């Protein structure tokens, strides 16, 4: 076994026999994370507000878990609304109690809300902040004290490349993700001396159902562009969720503070850090092109 293969094996072994909770796990990034965690030998609480979806995912992963190198892994479904702080706290406490501790909490649940800022209402802003920001805060508030008490643990918060770069037409979403980045890196510095690790994930365009979803149906309708087409033109082609999950779990095993992936996302972030004005001006021009109706 060469050094690269040995390192890959070590990264996978990092999760063997651990206990993880993943929110937003019925689809997209959350489902991919749960799948990869089970494949690496973790017991995973698969949590989502979508009851049917989370039960289906957990059932499929539970059936697959028996073949993971003879490691007794489990996939356990949990219906959870991350905006309900009491329910989040109860699930984290129950998971820790039932498994004599909790090693990882992936605060991944999120929604997309966008459209021209001039057309948005306070209801649009409240909804995206309730889920994308307060959902993460609720997860941190529940998990961090428990991890401090047990002396170890790793909190992983899903933000977005939109949490590092300006994102026109997705301003409420981007606002929430910038806040998640700030929460995560600040907490990481505090938590370092207490045995708890914190990582924030900032993916580029990922192939998930979120790319094709409009704003929630119960919010006032607003006009918005084709998000998939717009982001693909501005940032790059969608990256498979399964590949993202591999990148994320490898980065978490390495205790990376900020995980930006794939390459097109790292390139855009590097350009923004080097010359914010250039990216903003260039992005504004490309944005006008992306919003022109196709002939």
SS (H, E, C) the chain: CCHHHHHHHHHHHCCCCCEEEECCCCCHHHHHHHHHHHHCCCEEEEEECCHHHHHHHHHHHHHHHCCCCCCCCCEEEEECCCCCHHHHHHHHHHHHHHCCCCCEEEECCCCCCCCCHHHCCHHHHHHHHHHHHHHHHHHHHHHHHHHHHHCCEEEEEECCHHHCCCCCCCHHHHHHHHHHHHHHHHHHHHHHHHCEEEEEEEECCEECHHHHCCCCCCCCCCCCCCHHHHHHHHCCCCEEHHHHHHHHHHHHHCCCCEEEECHHHHHHHHHHHHCHHHHHHHHHHHHHHHHCCCC
Of 41-45, 86-90, 132-136, 224-228, the poorest mean pLDDT is in 224-228
- Averaged over 30-51, what is the pLDDT? 97
Nearest to 116 by CA among 180, 75, 56, 167: 167
- Averaged over 16-26, what is the pLDDT? 97
Residue 30 has pLDDT above 90, yes or no: yes
Question: How many of the other CB atoms lie within 10 Å of CB of 166?
Answer: 16
- Averaged over 217-234, what is the pLDDT? 73
CB burial string 86-115: b at 16+ within 10 A, e below: ebbbebbeebbeebebbbbbbbbbbbbbbb
Active site residues: 173
pLDDT band at 279; cut points 50, 70, 90: confident
Report the distance separating Cα 199 and Cα 136, nearest Å: 12
pTM of the model: 0.91
Report the distance separating Cα 162 and Cα 272, nearest Å: 12
Percent of the chain past pLDDT 90, that is, above it, reads 71
Asked if residues 201 and 156 have their Cβ atoms less than 8 Å apart, the reply is: yes
Which of the two residues, 68 and 63, has the higher pLDDT score? Answer: 63
**pLDDT at 64 (0 to 100):** 78
Q: List C-alpha distances in Å: 225 to 105, 192, 215, 228, 268.
A: 34, 42, 12, 9, 21
How many residues are there in the chain? 295
Q: Angle CA(96)–CA(98)–CA(100) in degrees, nearest 5?
A: 55
Residue 293 has pLDDT above 50, yes or no: no
**pLDDT at 295 (0 to 100):** 36
Q: Is the peptide bond before 262 cis (omega within 30 degrees of 0)?
A: yes
Residue 106 has pLDDT above 80, yes or no: yes
Domains, the chain: 3-291 (3.40.50.720)
**pLDDT at 289 (0 to 100):** 55
């Amino acid at each position: 076994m060469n050094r690269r293969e040995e390192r890959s094996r070590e990264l996978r072994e990092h999760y063997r026999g651990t206990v993880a909770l993943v929110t937003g796990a019925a689809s997209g990034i959350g489902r991919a994370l749960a799948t990869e965690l089970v494949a690496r030998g973790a017991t995973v609480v698969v949590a989502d507000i979508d009851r049917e979806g989370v039960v289906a995912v957990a059932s499929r992963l539970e059936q697959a878990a028996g073949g993971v190198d003879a490691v007794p892994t489990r996939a356990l479904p949990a219906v959870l609304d991350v905006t309900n702080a009491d329910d989040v706290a109860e699930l984290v406490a129950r998971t820790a109690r039932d498994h004599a501790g909790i090693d990882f909490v992936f605060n991944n649940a999120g929604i997309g809300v966008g459209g021209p800022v001039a057309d948005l209402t306070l209801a649009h802003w409240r909804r995206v902040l309730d889920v994308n920001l307060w959902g993460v805060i609720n997860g941190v508030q529940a998990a961090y004290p428990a991890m401090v008490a047990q002396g170890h643990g790793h909190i992983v918060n899903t933000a977005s490349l939109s949490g590092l770069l300006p994102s026109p037409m997705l301003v409420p979403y981007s606002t929430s993700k910038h806040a998640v980045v700030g929460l995560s890196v600040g907490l990481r510095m505090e938590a370092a001396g207490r045995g708890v690790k914190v990582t924030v994930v900032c993916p580029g365009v990922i192939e998930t159902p979120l790319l094709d979803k409009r704003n929630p149906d119960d919010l006032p309708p607003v006009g918005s562009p084709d998000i998939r087409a717009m982001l693909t033109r501005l940032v790059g082609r969608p990256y498979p969720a399964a590949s993202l999950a591999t990148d994320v779990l490898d980065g978490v095993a390495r205790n990376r503070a900020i995980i930006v992936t794939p390459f097109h996302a790292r390139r855009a972030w590097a350009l923004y850090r080097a010359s914010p004005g250039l990216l903003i001006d260039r992005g504004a021009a490309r944005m006008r092109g992306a919003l022109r109706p196709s002939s």
